[in-house]
Every structure is written in structure tokens, then in C-alpha cells.
Amino acid sequence: MVCCMCSRSVQILSRQLKLSQLRVFHIAMDTVPPAASGVRSASSFLFDKAFVNGQWVTAKSGSVYQITNPSTGKTIGSVPDMNADDTQQAIEKANAAFLRWRETTAKERSLILRKWFDLTNQNKLELAKLLTAENGKPLKEAIGEINYAAGFIEWYAEEARRVYGDVIPPTAASKRMLVLKQPIGVAGMITPWNFPSAMITRKACAAIAAGCTVVLKPAEDTPFSALAMCQLAKEAGLPDGVLNVVTSSRDNAPSVGNTLCASPIIKKISFTGSTVTGKILLQQSASTVKKVSLELGGNAPFIVFDSADIEAAVQGTMVSKFRCSGQTCVCANKILVQEGVYERYVARLAEVMKQELRVGDGFDDSTTQGPLINSKAVDKVESIVEDAKKLGAGLLYGGKRSDKGENFFEPTLLSNVTVEMRCAKEEIFGPVAAVIKFKTEEEAVAIANSSNSGLAGYFYSQNLSQIWRVAEKLEVGLCGVNDGLISAIEAPFGGVKESGLGREGSKYGIDDYLEIKYVCIGGL
Ligand code: SIN
């Protein structure tokens, strides 16, 4: 286990990396207030091993890969580059642990989760610093994410004790008919880099609360937040083998994913990420007929009707579009504005973007827009903007790479966007607001629903009949009405169409980790 940068493992690592690279994490930490006395430092949560069966482990091959800070491009540290063999071993440990964990009472599981929640809260700032270092999001946003992550731990500590079965009125006087809910077994999970902590607790804590055990592969770019969570879970008393984290580079990720999906031991797969990968995992899970939940890409419509409160709509756009520099699955993607308010909305949005958005390192207090996750993401956003410009979109703000560094792109406002442009058809996943003008409600709903995705959708209107009509017609799993930030621990998160299967969070989130067993007692 590596708890601090002066530990033995880091000394070994220092022989492989330049000293200047090794210091980056400390330098980044120095730009924010130090930990208060008695509080653990962020670097004490930096682990360079994977976590299997309660132990900090290397890859069997001994391989490691390096994680870079997307703001600076400098190395933060390294983690094991695990493969199918390592994953198989973790699955077996999780299976052995499942036999014990499923026998615990709901209250025992709840108390451990509660302790984990308390520890997460106590170390909030330090966990947030780690998250900013590996993901790049502004520290204030990272603190928000740790609150969100902790909230899921707390929620599932509570939900653990609310898993009720049923008693069915029997079909004969001599029978009793019951429904039991039982943990499904070992769950395999693959989590994304845009929410390196919250997506872990949203999935893993539901499983753990239900009595399942977990083998989780965090995103290649952001393993440190996942490993820090393991440490706190261990301190909270989570037994060995209940939560296992297998780290791997992009090269090994497909074999780790396939091992999880094809394993007959794994009874459930939960994945958040791209639609392309989700479809592959779904196919790979078919051979063992496992339950699969998928939180995949979106192309969220954000509709502003003539009756809307324009100031509220602009504020809603800001929060929906620019959270995590536009890299959330629920970000406003195609912004549809009715012709009567189009000019006013676009002018005000441009003004607010100029006033409020500041690009920079997430550790800088004034930053609201961190980097994109890597240079490939910047290339994609740049090509989407170029496509729109070529096809006639107006550029009202930004539009190019930022001079802050390789992974930064300027917040951008495109007007007169049409449905043929890539920014309307594809998930942008970057800080680009693409505004389309429309005439009628029917036209807006048709454009909104024209996509294969259906995760989030938003609209602004003061017309009550229109609110009901459009909320019911939008083909999405999450619908924001006069609100741009709707994700909540208490609310079900998930999509329709190719945006996925299943729901996470809320009272529904635990269902995917439970099997329903019907028991009929006859001859009474
Ligand atoms: C996402 O999955 O990108 C969004 C997560 C959330 O808002 O809960």
C-alpha cells in the first residue's frame, strides 16, 4: 500500500520517472489550502496498487501505467495495468466473499455503509483534490461530486434496510405464496472518468447494500479516486473481497471488460460510458444471460419556448451545458429556441458566458472550466465546431483551442445551427452550446426525439398545458422542466432508447442487484 509520496513504493517509482514529474502532485496540492491539522492530506489517499480481497496488489505481470493530470499533462503516479488473469482472480475472491456477505443482516451492511459515508465526509476536501488532479474539474465542482458520492453511500446505507418482499393472497387455502428478494451475486462494474467518485458509489453501494459483492474497473484515466474510496471502505469495516478494484490501461481494458461479461460467476454488469462500448458489453454478456445495466451516451435537447423565463433558461443552460466542461452524459447538447425569444436568449447567453466562464487549472479558484480529459477529446470538439462553421453556423463566442494548454477548449457559442450539423446529431461532450431556431412545439419535439439516444431532456416554458404535453412526449429517461440540474441521489437516473438499460440511484437503484424469488408453500 502506498499512502504518501515519500513511501518506499514511490521511491521505486521515482527511479522510473523524472523527479520533476513526481513532484507534480505535490505542486498541484500546494495551490489549494493545506489540510487542517489532524486531517489527512490528499496525497495520503494516492494509492499505486489495485485493491483485491482487502489487499493492495500489483498486476501479476508487474506492469504499471501512468496517470496524467489533464491540466498540466504531467504524471500524477502509476497504477497496476491488470489483465484478464488478474480480473479472474478478483472475481474468485469476490465470489468467496459473497458467500459470507449475503449472510449478513441488512443492519450490519447499513452500519458499515454509514461509517464509510462518515469517513468520506471527514476527508471530503482531500478526496476532491485527488479528483481534480486526475480529472481536471474545478475544485469546487470536485467537492460537489464528493458530496454527491457520499450521498449515495448514505442513501444505500438507508435503503439496505428497506428491501421488502411480498406476501401474495394464495390461490388455495392450503398454500402460502411469498416473494423473497435476494442478492443477485457478484456484480461487475465499469465506471467513467467524468464522475470518478460518484459513479462508483452510485453503483457499488447499491450492490453492497443488497448483499452483493463487487469487482469494479474504474476508467483508465481516473483510477485514484476509486482506490481512495476502497481505503475508506476498508477503514469503515467492509470485509475483504466485498469491494475489489481492478485497474487497467486502455490496452487491457477490453480484456478486463470481456472477462467480467463472460464470467459465469458474475451475475450482473453495470456500465457507464459510451454507447459503442455499452453495445459490446451487452453482446459479451449474452453468452451467460446476465442482467445488464447501461448508462450510455445522450444527446440532450434543451428547449426554450416563447413563454419561457429567459433569464432562468439562460441560467439553466449554463449549469446544464458547462458542468464538467460539457463532459456529462446529461449536458444540454442541442439547444432549441423558439423564434419569438431566439435573439434575446442568444444575446443573453453570450453575455453570461463571457461574464461567468473562466478556463484554467481546476486548482485555480477562479476556474469554472477545466480541461477536457485528453487531447483526443479536444480534437473531436474542434472538428465538431469546424463542421458547424463550414455548414453555416454563426460563431458568437470561443470556437477554438484555448491557450491554457493542450487539453483546453474555449467555451463556445454557435448560432443558427441546423439538424444536419454534427453538433446537433452527435453527443458533443465539450463546452460547446449549439443553438437551433424553431417555429412550433411539434417541430421542437420532433427534433428533440429524432436521436437514437434518450437520456436527459430539458425545456423551459410557463405554459402549464405545454409543460405536461412536452414532458410526456419527450423520449428521455430524465426530464428537467424549468431546471437545468436535475440529477439527485433520490431520483432515478437512466435512459431510454440507446441511452441504456436500468436505473441507478433512488429507491429503484437497488432492484438491479436483487433477484425476485417466488416461494409457494403447499400442503398447509
Ligand atoms: C453523467 O453520467 O455524465 C452524469 C452523472 C449525473 O449527473 O449524475
What distance in angstroms lies between residue 189's CA and the mean position of ligand 1's atoms?
16
d(Cα 277, Cα 408) in Å, to the nearest integer?
25
d(Cα 262, Cα 244) in Å, to the nearest integer?
18
**Local structure of 483: helix, strand or coil:** coil
Cell numbers describing residue 451: 436521436
d(Cα 63, Cα 76) in Å, to the nearest integer?
17
Give the chain's mean pLDDT: 93
Say what the pLDDT of residue 198 is. Answer: 98
The residue behind cell 469495516 is: 237
Whether 295 sits among the annotated catalytic residues: the reply is yes
Phi and psi dihedrals of 282, rounded to 5?
-65, -45
User: Quick one: pLDDT band at residue 38, thresholds 50, 70, 90?
Assistant: low
d(Cα 258, Cα 248) in Å, to the nearest integer?
13
User: Quick one: pLDDT band at residue 3, thresholds 50, 70, 90?
Assistant: very low
CB of 501 shorter than 6 A to ligand 1: no
Ligand 1 atom having least distance to the Cα of 192: 2
Q: What is the pTM of this model?
A: 0.92
Q: What does the chain come to in residues? A: 524
What distance in angstroms lies between residue 315's CA and the mean position of ligand 1's atoms?
19
Say what the pLDDT of residue 40 is. Answer: 81
Ligand 1 atom having least distance to the Cα of 272: 2
User: Quick one: pLDDT band at residue 272, thresholds 50, 70, 90?
Assistant: very high
**Local structure of 391: helix, strand or coil:** coil
Please identify which of the residues 212, 261, 329, 331 carries the catalytic annotation: 329
Hey, which bits of 368-411 come out as E strands?
394-397
Q: 483-504 burial by CB neighbour count: b if 16+ within 10 A, else e?
A: ebebbebeeebbbebbbbbbbb
d(Cα 156, Cα 269) in Å, to the nearest integer?
19
CA angle 202, 208, 210 (to 5 degrees): 100
Q: What residues contact 300, with CB distance under 8 A and at least 6 apart?
A: 320, 330, 331, 332, 333, 334, 455, 456, 457, 458, 476
Residue 401 CA to its chain's centroid (Å): 25
Please list the alpha-helical segments (H only) found in 123-265: 124-135, 139-159, 198-210, 223-235, 253-262
d(Cα 224, Cα 79) in Å, to the nearest integer?
8
Phi and psi dihedrals of 434, rounded to 5?
-115, 115
* Position 264 pLDDT exceeds 70: yes
State the virtual CA torsion across 217, 223, 225, 227 in degrees, nearest 10: 70
The residue behind cell 478486463 is: 256
CB 178 within 8 A of CB 167: yes
Cell numbers describing residue 295: 448508462
Element (H, E) at 301: strand 300-304
CA–CA distance from 461 to each of 272, 338, 387 (Å)? Answer: 31, 11, 31
* Position 16 pLDDT exceeds 90: no
Nearest residue (by CA) to ligand 1, atom 8, is 487
% of the chain beyond a pLDDT of 70: 93
Overall average pLDDT of the 465-483 stretch: 98
Cell numbers describing residue 5: 509520496
Q: Dump pLDDT digits (tens) for 289-305.
A: 999 999 999 999 999 99
What distance in angstroms lies between residue 245's CA and the mean position of ligand 1's atoms?
21
Q: Dump pLDDT digits (tens) for 213-237.
A: 999 999 999 999 999 999 999 999 9
Q: Dump pLDDT digits (tens) for 359-389.
A: 999 999 999 999 999 999 999 999 999 999 9
**Local structure of 172: helix, strand or coil:** coil
CB of 329 shorter than 6 A to ligand 1: yes
* Position 18 pLDDT exceeds 90: no
Q: Which residues sit opposite 214 in a β-bridge? A: 187, 243
